[in-house]
Amino acid sequence: MNEYVLPPSHISAYLSAAPLPPWADWPYRVCSPGRVNLIGEHIDYTGGLVLPAAIDYNIYFAARPLEEAVWKLHAVDLGETIEVPLPLTGPTPKLWANYLVGIGVQFQEQGHQLSGLEVVFGGNLPNGAGMSSSAALEGGMAFLLNELLGAGLTRPILAAICQRSSNNFLGIPCGVMDQFASLNGSPDGPIILNCHTLTSEPVRNEIRGYTFLLVNSKVSHDLSDGAYGQRVAECQRALEVVHATFPRINHLSATLPDQLSVVVDQLDEVARKRASYVVEENRRVSQAVIALEAGNAREFGTLLNESHAGLRDCYEVSCPEIDFLQHTAMELEGVAGTRMMGGGFGGCTINLVRDDQIATFKETLTEAFEREYGITPEFYPVHLTAGTRFI
């Protein structure tokens, strides 16, 4: 998804460093979290159900108004700065700045007059782990501008603005899940989000004695550059066939299994595989909510495994390294289930691991992955947090 990823650091530490940096007393400070998606992968842009959560890896912003008609943007971790004159007119030469400028353009298009602003940001989101640092960057900027302009927009509307910026300004055909989860997360549990209606409900995690643990393969294949857009187009192709027979279906995730079976022979092989995955993954999300609230780790783990098989075989967005991590993990005691997480072709697996087996899980998986690929994986326990907020 061409996601902009910040190197690990922590702007909150800068704010209290000695000597104090110049932005330590700036009036606006925002924390914008990354996200994980427990299940419901690659179906947000088909209007599907997803089960994401905001987590305690974040991007931090400090900002102050300026008298002059310019935005001064500082990427602290990259050591880069850019000045952009107002009004905003188009992309800049720097990708990271475009995530911020694109949000400003969306507010301009809604009739808001932007004023001068200076922003610094940095974060501790792990590099390349698929925790949606780009969504945290967009959501944090949208949250900040909403306050500065007194726009009064709700968090779901801010998420939609972020998606529109990604789609129209950056040219990334993403869904809304990442931005929505970052802006609307809760420390009490994940949310089930309907990506077609932008309605969400909190979900109680009653599974006890287990931890969701991310394993970062530290692998990113170049194949992913155009594959995301291809999957969007393939799903659209399948939708056109479904819609021709069932006109009330205007997003692929609304398709029922029986309806898909009626038109399956009209689909080309690729579109058939993508549609089959989408329909089944939506079913799995609904079942996962029931399993989570019932405290059924075994059932939830089974759904994770089924999701990975679908992503690997029908959606074809996995890779050998991720498949190795998933297969090896499932051979270990205390692992209820595991799957790839994120856009694919690398990044992380998400694993439901019994607490008393976490140390053994890490040790065994590290040894196996180093032996097979010469790479030392990284592990991140998932701790849920609130969505984007002022510090």
CA distance 173 to 145: 23
Q: What are phi and psi of 44, to 5 degrees?
A: -65, -35
Residues recognised as catalytic: 178
Alpha-carbon span 328 to 364, nearest angstrom: 9
**Cis geometry, peptide bond prior to residue 173 (ω within 30 degrees of 0):** no
CA 241 – CA 245 distance, rounded (Å): 7
Distance between CA 372 and CA 375 in Å, rounded? 8
SS3 123: strand
326 neighbors 352 (Cβ within 8 angstroms): no
Nearest to 322 by CA among 227, 223, 225, 216: 216
Which of 304, 299, 303, 246 has the alpha carbon at shortest distance from 275? 246
Identity at 178, one-letter amino acid code: D
Which is nearest to 121 in space by CA: 170, 186, 174, 77?
77
Do 34 and 133 form a contact (C-beta atoms < 8 A)? yes
| Residues 359, 375: Cα–Cα separation, whole Å | 19
Rg (Cα) of the chain, in Å, rounded? 21
